[in-house]
Structure 1
Amino acid sequence: MKYVRYGSTASFVSVLSFGAMTFGERNRWKLGGVTQELSDRMVKRAYDAGINLFDTADVYDDGDSEVMLGRSLKPYRDSVMIATKVRGKIGQGVNSSGLSRHHMHIAIKKSLERLGTEWIDIYQYHGWDVYGNFEEFLETMESFVEQGLVIYPAVSNFTAWQISVLQTMAIERGYARYESAQMNYSLLNRDVEYEVLPFMKYSGMTLLSWSPLHGGVLAGKYKKGEKPATGTRMGNRGFFFPYFDEDHGWDVVEEVKKVAQEQGCKPSQVALAWIISKSHVAILGARSMEQLEENLGSLDVQLTKEQMDRLDNVSKNREIYPNWMVERQNHERDFEIIN
């Protein structure tokens, strides 16, 4: 296993994280229906492989994911970091979602109970609340830190300006910094490279990539022009999610397959190795031991510079303004800069 520094802290997290979104026999989101017995086996295998970051959310299978992950991690609790989230609707009533002080206090209490732990290592806002305000959820999160209920605050699915304002307010007030952002990032969606990643780099934050295989599309499970088969994640949903630009997205998939053939490995391993090579964390979401083993195999894939360049080029974003203007101006200096 390889590890990266977590944000600006003295803690380290594995470049592969294990996500428990597939946990829960209700299988409400048609993602897996993983049983407790299988959960125990997958978590042990992930832990034995060196994975020390496990991710879930209170809304995954109506809380069952947290319950099952907590049970599976009980033997290893002091050696791992647990990440969960708050914002989604769980429970009854008009205030059972969002980032209000009211909902967050109830949500963290319930998450701690379900996980069977006294603290949450990484507590993430699970998205922006258009009816909330920075003051309320920032102060509420800080109170959790002061009580020892949360070690590191974090965000998920936030825009760059939201993260920057939040981080600035936290630092100015002497609050705990926000050390990571969990965002959708893969060879099929590099949108965060426009604004989010530049700010994260500036602020010393770690990127946690959710759906690094884009729901299995980058694993080569699906083909252009064909309806996803029943029993697959996309087949169960009836549509592709996360969304991607199918006009050129399938070209990306084909290039991943070519590199995999050259490497003598699986397409999924190439897609994960690409993220790892950029020092980001890829969150694995497995429905079977076979999928987990295949994903762990990405650690053995060493992409060449030529292969990385091909993958970067086929998946690169269209340049947008003002980014292209900044890049143009950076090349106006007619002297050598050595540092």
Structure 2
Amino acid sequence: MEHRFLGNSGFKVPALGFGAGTFGGQGPLFSAWGNTDVDGARRIVDICLDAGVNLFDTADVYSNGASEAILGAALKGRRHQAILSTKLSLRSGDGPNDTGSSRHHLIEGVEAALKRLDTEHIDILQLHAFDAMTPVEQVLRTLDDLVRSGKVRYLGVSNFAGWQLMKSLAASERLGLQRYVANQAYYSLIGRDYEHELMPLGADQGVGAIVWSPLGWGRLTGKIRRGQPLPEGSRLHETAGFAPPVDDERLYRVIDAMGEVAEETGKTLPQIALNWLLQRPTVSSVLIGARTEEQLKQNLGALGWQLSAAQMEKLNTASATTPPYPHYPYWNGMFAERAPVLALQGGNP
């Protein structure tokens, strides 16, 4: 297993991690993702650990906490082998303070997560969303206290805008507090918004990406093809309302290009999508999910080989979109000698 630094933390994580959103199966969204129980989770963890995938990511809102509880049970007796990552700050109860990143909710949320995960510390704690109602200084002081207490080791965010993350990093530096080293972000061949602002920010500030939904909410699994109906039983039937929209023609253009690369490499479409991400700047780890052992083993096949430069270019071209203002001048060649984004991308969109 390849290991990479998590931003500038000095801490290494596996290139592939496992997203435990399929554990539990509670609620309209997560029941569509999967309903793996404790016995199934133990088998998944067995396969992951044997392959060197020891980063496991979850959240307090995944199946109303069941994901954390099942993951904790599956890791019982081998917690020391795992890197545990969880998230909080989304609404986790009916009370007025059961949401956000207030000192109250962060402390209560960490204590509850520790119990569900059956552990004494969380390796990577990420805020699931930006809380505009709580001053970033209060949020960071609380997180700093949690790190100093030994209950949390590294900090990250998820679903933050660039200015929100940068404001927080600046406050950490100004106040001498623990800083965010991870950014759990949606990124895929059909979801490249991460590249516009968050990628150059991560490169500049030493924040590593932990990628979620690398298969574009199931669109890049190989089940969707041009001119064919959505297969029966596809989870896209149930999660379409949650997934970010993608223009049909662009989706098919990307899938067509992936199909050509699949013929050249003998790899599956999911393996190609994952391998593409593993070659992108700032990516520390890519989270794979699986409802079955076969899906998990197939995703693990994304390691141990690399797409060629020509194949990367083919996929880059097929998946390219025009970035929004003020980013687009740097992508069409204007001020190229002064554009860190263009250099970061190797001159390609």
Which category of TM-score, normalised to the shorter sequence, fits these structures? over 0.9
> How far 1:304 moved relative to its partner?
1.0
Equivalences, count: 332
Q: 1:233 aligns with which of 232, 235, 240?
A: 235
Alpha-carbon RMSD across the aligned residues, in angstroms, is 1.8
CA 1:99–1:226: 2 relative to 1, 3 Å? farther
Percent identity of paired positions between Structure 1 and Structure 2: 36
Of 184, 196, 218, 1:216 maps to 218
The residue aligned with 1:335 is none
Aligned to 2:8: 8
Are 1:313 and 2:301 counterparts? Answer: no
Distance 1:35 1:242, change over 3 A: farther
CA–CA distance in structure 2, aligned partners of residues 330 and 130 of structure 1:
35
Aligned with 1:217: secondary structure?
Answer: coil
**1:27-66 alignment to 2 at 5 Å?**
28-29=28-29, 30-66=32-68
Match for residue 291 of structure 1?
Answer: 295
Counterpart residue identity of residue 335, structure 2 = Q
1:183 alignment partner in structure 2: 185
CA contact (8 A) 2:223 2:231 kept: no
Tell which deviates more after alignment, 139-148 or 245-254.
245-254
In the TM superposition, 1:186-205 aligns within 5 A as: 186-205=188-207
SS of 1:300's equivalent?
A: coil
- Alpha-carbon distance, 1:255 to partner: 0.8
Please identify, of 255-264 and 132-141, the stretch whose mean Cα deviation from structure 2 is larger.
132-141
Letter matched to residue 84 of structure 1: T
Contact 1:185 1:210 survives alignment (8 Å): yes
Q: How far is 1:229 from its partner?
A: 3.7
**Structure 1: which amino acid aligns with 2:243?**
F
Consecutive unaligned residues in structure 2, runs of 5 or more: 339-349
Give the TM-score of the pair, scaled to structure 2: 0.90
Larger deviation: 317-326 or 40-49? 317-326
Stretches of structure 1 lacking an aligned partner (at least 5 in a row): 333-339
- Distance (Å, rounded) in 2 between the aligned partners of 1:227 and 1:58: 35
Distance apart, 1:78 and its partner CA? 1.7
- Cα deviation, residue 27, structure 1: 5.4
- In the superposition, relative to structure 1, how do residues 240 and 93 fare at CA in structure 2: closer, same or farther (>3 Å)? closer
The letter for the 2-side match of 1:152 is: Y
Shift of 1:233: 1.6
Match of 1:98 in 2: 100
SS at match of 2:251: helix
Letter of the 1:271 partner, please give it: A
Cα deviation, 1:207-247, whole Å, max 9, x if unaligned, reads 11100001221111224566534432212335471332334
Moved over 6 A (4+): none
Mapped pair 1:145 → 2:138 = no
Q: Is the 8 A contact 1:230 1:236 kept in 2?
A: no
Which residue identity lines up with residue 15 of structure 2 in the other structure? Answer: V
**Equivalences for 1:267-306 in 2 at 5 Å?**
267-278=269-280, 280=283, 281-306=285-310
1:328 aligned residue: 334
Distance 1:4 1:238 in 2: 33
CA separation in 2, counterparts of 1:60 and 1:325?
Answer: 40
Q: Displacement, 1:80?
A: 2.0
TM-score, with structure 1 as normaliser: 0.93
Determine if the alignment matches structure 1 residue 251 to structure 2 residue 246: no
Output the amino acid matched with 1:178: Y
1:242/1:325 CA distance change after superposition, 3 Å: closer
Contact 2:140 2:178 in 1 (8 A): no
- The 2-side partners of 1:132 and 1:225 are apart by 49
Structure 1 residue 319, shift from structure 2 partner = 3.9
Q: Contact conserved, 1:23 with 1:35, CA < 8 A, in 2?
A: yes
